Amino acid sequence: MRNEEGGGYTKRFDRVGARADDGVASLIAEVRRLIRSARSAAATTVNTLQVLTNFEIGRRIVEHEQGGSKRAGYGDLVLRTLAESLTEEFGQGFSKRNLGLCASVLP
């Protein structure tokens, strides 16, 4: 906002005469905390969902391979085919090794 003489700029004042930027620092701090908290909660939720998804992937691999028997002989071909298909569709993270690890964590 230009001052009355037309030169330079002055601070904006609200109706009670306080500077409009008073308290902005605390607002910024509050918003930063809010954003950081939301990001942390989002990361925790994503991590939890990833663990649950990996568990379910492993469970389904085991169920497919066991076909009712007590032990699975994780078929190299099944894991390789699944890995290739998932990697093509979803990108990295679904290697044969990773899928085997998903299946290996089950009792």
Write the pLDDT tens digit of every residue in 27-43.
Answer: 999 999 999 999 999 99
Tens digits of residue pLDDT in 60-90? 998 888 775 655 555 788 899 999 999 999 9
Q: Tokens 């954003």: give the residue.
A: 35
Is the model's pTM score more than 0.75?
no
Q: Which of 6-10, 22-26, 73-77, 82-86 has the highest mean pLDDT?
A: 82-86
> How many CA atoms are closer than 13 Å to the CA of 98, on its beta-carbon side?
15
